[in-house]
Amino acid sequence: MVPVVPEGPQRPLRDFYVWRDRPSEYLDARVIFVDTEDSNWAWDPVRQQFYWHRFFSHQPDLNYE
């Protein structure tokens, strides 16, 4: 499941997760569930960006910054 982020000019939850245009950060982080996940980044077709997940792709990591 892809995280749902409300679109719109205010988008209060836009930084709730870690988003990037390219999956180029944290490349040294080990993929924990290699039998089900190819990467720690997953594509969101609505937002047209990648989001970071340390475990499963349906569990995006929160952005603590």
pLDDT in tens, 9-49: 456 667 889 999 999 999 899 999 999 999 999 999 988 99
Q: What is the pLDDT of residue 9?
A: 45
Domains of the chain: 14-65 (3.90.400.10)
Q: Let me know: does 46 contact 23? Beta carbons within 8 Å.
A: no
Q: What is the pLDDT of residue 60?
A: 93
Please determine, for residue 5, whether its predicted confidence score (pLDDT) is greater than 50. Answer: yes
Q: What is the pLDDT of residue 7?
A: 56
Q: What is the pLDDT of residue 54?
A: 94
Residue 9 CA to residue 43 CA, distance in Å, equals 22
